[in-house]
Amino acid sequence: MSTPTAATAIRWERGDDGIVTLVLDDPAQSANTMNAAFIASLTAVADRLEAERDSVRGVVITSAKKTFFAGGDLKDMIKIGPGDAQRAYDTSMEVKRGLRRIETLGRPVVAAINGAALGGGFEIALACHHRVALDAPGSRIGCPEVTLGLLPAGGGVARTVRLLGVADALLTVLLEGRQYAPRRALEAGLVHEVADSPEDMLAKARAFIDAHPESRQPWDVKGYKIPGGTPAHPKFAAELPAYPANLRKQLGGAPYPAPRNILAAAVEGAQVDFETAQIIEARYFVDLVTGQTAKNMIQAFFFDLQAVNSGASRPDGIAPRQVRKVGVLGAGMMGAGIAYSCAKAGIDVVLKDVSAEAAAKGKAYSEGLLAKALAKGRTTEVQRDELLARITPTADPGDLAGCDAVIEAVFEDPALKHKVFQEIEGIVAPDAVLCSNTSTLPITLLAEGVQRPGDFIGLHFFSPVDKMPLVEIIKGERTGDEALARAFDLVRQIRKTPIVVNDSRGFFTSRVISHFMNEGVALVGEGVEPASVEQAAAQAGYPAKVLALMDELTLTLPRKIREETRRAVEEAGGTWRPHPADAVIDRMVDEFGRPGRSGGAGFYTYDEATGRRAGLWPGLREHFTKPDVAVPFEDMKERMLFSEALDTVRLLEEGVLTSVADANIGSILGIGFPGWTGGVLQYINGYEGGLPGFVARARELQTRYGDRFAPPELLLDKASKGETFTD
């Protein structure tokens, strides 16, 4: 029996047993979101439930879609400006009121969570007295709003705090935004039961209704105490000051407003009654949703990421293909990691090195990772054995017979790379895609060494491969569309995010990150206290300290790249402009013998026994730091951010980059550009005053620090036309 309500995003189905099933099923969308239709339906449903209360025995909320409920409507949210604060507040309160009316109906309400319930979806479930989650593969439950610069504003803060206690709610659910598989959600106390099948789920829902004719939330029972005590409790009050301090430490001073607002909403909301807590939550939400950071993060982590992963940069009209057997040439640090990632995705791997021992050592890397995963309960012995069985270490090129893809990761030497491809070209499948993981060599040059340059492409992984989510795909001049499509599909098959760029020195990622490091080093050369330089990088939101990163990379590498670039520029008749960082790097290497971490000494000192970073080298202050130097802290941060953003615009001008989404995602996932910016080009879009504001500030930096901050033509052009960087 099905009667449509006034608005139709929620279907009302009433059984003969007096149980009303509210089916979330927005006919206009593939997933349910908290849009206007939903909100109107929610109010209509609450009206009807109240009107028919006497004949309703209980309520089950479930969904007809694959996911239970997708959450807030991000297309709408990203448009909410500072002028829309009142409207955003009213909408948030309307959702809360609707859920609250159902929660306080005096009838048992059960969430039958048939698929992912993240953000708004989990908040609907939280308003129910009982939550049964179907153990569907890939299903996730939680409040990931913080990862989009927001907070759960459908009562999610108020209810998780009351359900779990302030500390637990904050630490995992709200501040980390962790997404739980159904069984983990059960362990964490987020759901009450897990069901093995849809029938089991509904049976459990009904059983709860039968057993609890008049359900109430624990927090609506008189005398309810928040687990772990309220912030007013002396013990809690003593711990409270540590919260903001820990948060600051966690964020490194980076400008993420959401965690601060979540903390405030949770702590303030725990000291008042439920209704007031909801108002507090709405106010902190409005502050976030009308601000720039949430827009940046929604753009990057939702829209851009979706565009990139769904194949916006993949050529059209080429049927997707799965790789079954991949040959990995070179079982060193990168080859070993690539082999692991491929095997993990179910691909058979032939891991080839110069000797059987070297190849076996590469496989041992996977064994090590799996031993750790097993110890942490993240894999099973069966899964471990299956994965390891997929990796065949060898020194014999003949074992690559039948490989439909090859990924080369031998030493960074063009002659060697040519040689290893020649060795296997006649052995692998005749149409195998040929990929190189080179970090600096031109793909077009490497392609000259193979018989099928159209099938040759760059596949630039990041270290450590098993952790880093990005792969930069590099098209050489002769790379064909088929090879690009297959490389793209391979990256998706191993569950990583691909960005696509055209061939150029340093590609996109290596070239852009070098500007960040150079600015840090240049500041040392200008006499700035080295600890302040590291502090500036952290406060700008970079995940790594800039001088520490330079040490990791080794100072001799940028020197080598610099020399090659200089030669190339001069051969092409151009003028080579040294960077102020060059002189510092030269002195560090030549005068002080400190080439970086692998050489045992760099900007930092390293513990001889453990190799661990011990502290900044005191000699830096002695040789470089000047007492009277006064580079404003804001300039230090923005020099790092601007130098990367400006060169990204140049890369767009040069046609190396062709997609804004690829640039934004590549910068965050590949080279640690701060997430709060939404990526390197969104940073320009979202800068105060928009593109004209960014141009004005670039000119200011140019005047103070040199022509490397001169705004490129493309930026000036877009600024004058009132445009932004979009695809």
Chain residues binding ligand NAI by CB under 6 A are: 329-335, 352-354, 358, 409-412, 416, 420, 437-439, 460-461, 463
Measured from the CB atom, the residue of 539 and 667 that comes closer to ligand NAI is: 667
Burial class (CB in 10 A: 0-12, 13-18, 19+), 577: exposed
Query: Least distance in Å: CB of 665 to ligand NAI?
Result: 18
Query: Least distance in Å: CB of 334 to ligand NAI?
Result: 3
Measured from the CB atom, the residue of 278 and 439 that comes closer to ligand NAI is: 439
Distance (Å, whole) CA 309 – CA 496: 9
Measured from the CB atom, the residue of 461 and 642 that comes closer to ligand NAI is: 461
Query: Least distance in Å: CB of 711 to ligand NAI?
Result: 31
Measured from the CB atom, the residue of 107 and 352 that comes closer to ligand NAI is: 352
CA–CA–CA angle 180, 186, 191 (5° rounding): 95
Give me 642's structure tokens.
């601007």
**Which strands, in side-by-side order, build the sheet including 433-436?**
391-394, 348-352, 325-329, 405-408, 433-436, 456-461, 470-475, 497-502
Measured from the CB atom, the residue of 460 and 639 that comes closer to ligand NAI is: 460
Measured from the CB atom, the residue of 12 and 461 that comes closer to ligand NAI is: 461
Query: Least distance in Å: CB of 523 to ligand NAI?
Result: 25
Measured from the CB atom, the residue of 355 and 451 that comes closer to ligand NAI is: 355
Query: Least distance in Å: CB of 417 to ligand NAI?
Result: 7
Measured from the CB atom, the residue of 353 and 551 that comes closer to ligand NAI is: 353
Burial class (CB in 10 A: 0-12, 13-18, 19+), 177: buried
Distance (Å, whole) CA 208 – CA 196: 16
8 A C-beta contact, residue 98 and residue 39: yes
Cis amide bond preceding 464, omega within 30: yes
Measured from the CB atom, the residue of 334 and 487 that comes closer to ligand NAI is: 334
Closest residue to ligand NAI, judged by C-beta, is 332
Query: Least distance in Å: CB of 436 to ligand NAI?
Result: 7
8 A C-beta contact, residue 92 and residue 282: yes
Distance (Å, whole) CA 154 – CA 144: 13
* DSSP per-residue codes, 601-662: BSSEEE-TTT--EEEE-THHHHHT--TT----HHHHHHHHHHHHHHHHHHHHHTTSB--HHH
Q: Where are the alpha helices (DSSP H) in 440-529?
A: 443-447, 481-493, 509-526
Given the DSSP bridges, would you call strands 10-14 and 130-134 parallel, antiparallel or unpaired? unpaired
Measured from the CB atom, the residue of 231 and 337 that comes closer to ligand NAI is: 337
8 A C-beta contact, residue 194 and residue 250: no
Give me 489's structure tokens.
């599909």
Given the DSSP bridges, would you call strands 58-63 and 19-24 parallel, antiparallel or unpaired? parallel
Q: Which residues pair with 112 in a beta bridge?
A: 132
Measured from the CB atom, the residue of 353 and 647 that comes closer to ligand NAI is: 353
Query: Least distance in Å: CB of 195 to ligand NAI?
Result: 45
Query: Least distance in Å: CB of 8 to ligand NAI?
Result: 52
Distance (Å, whole) CA 388 – CA 392: 8
Query: Least distance in Å: CB of 352 to ligand NAI?
Result: 5
Measured from the CB atom, the residue of 351 and 433 that comes closer to ligand NAI is: 351
Query: Least distance in Å: CB of 454 to ligand NAI?
Result: 22
Distance (Å, whole) CA 348 – CA 328: 10
Q: Which residues pair with 113 in a beta bridge?
A: 133
545: left (phi over 0), alpha (psi -120 to 50) or beta: beta
Report long-range pairs for 93-96 (Cβ below 8 Å, ≥24 apart).
93/278, 93/279, 93/282, 94/39, 94/43, 95/34, 95/39, 95/42, 95/120, 95/153, 95/154, 96/153, 96/154, 96/155, 96/278, 96/281, 96/282
Measured from the CB atom, the residue of 210 and 563 that comes closer to ligand NAI is: 563
Query: Least distance in Å: CB of 449 to ligand NAI?
Result: 13
Query: Least distance in Å: CB of 643 to ligand NAI?
Result: 22
SS3 label, residue 711: coil
Measured from the CB atom, the residue of 374 and 441 that comes closer to ligand NAI is: 441
Distance (Å, whole) CA 117 – CA 302: 16
Query: Least distance in Å: CB of 355 to ligand NAI?
Result: 8
Query: Least distance in Å: CB of 98 to ligand NAI?
Result: 51
8 A C-beta contact, residue 61 and residue 69: no
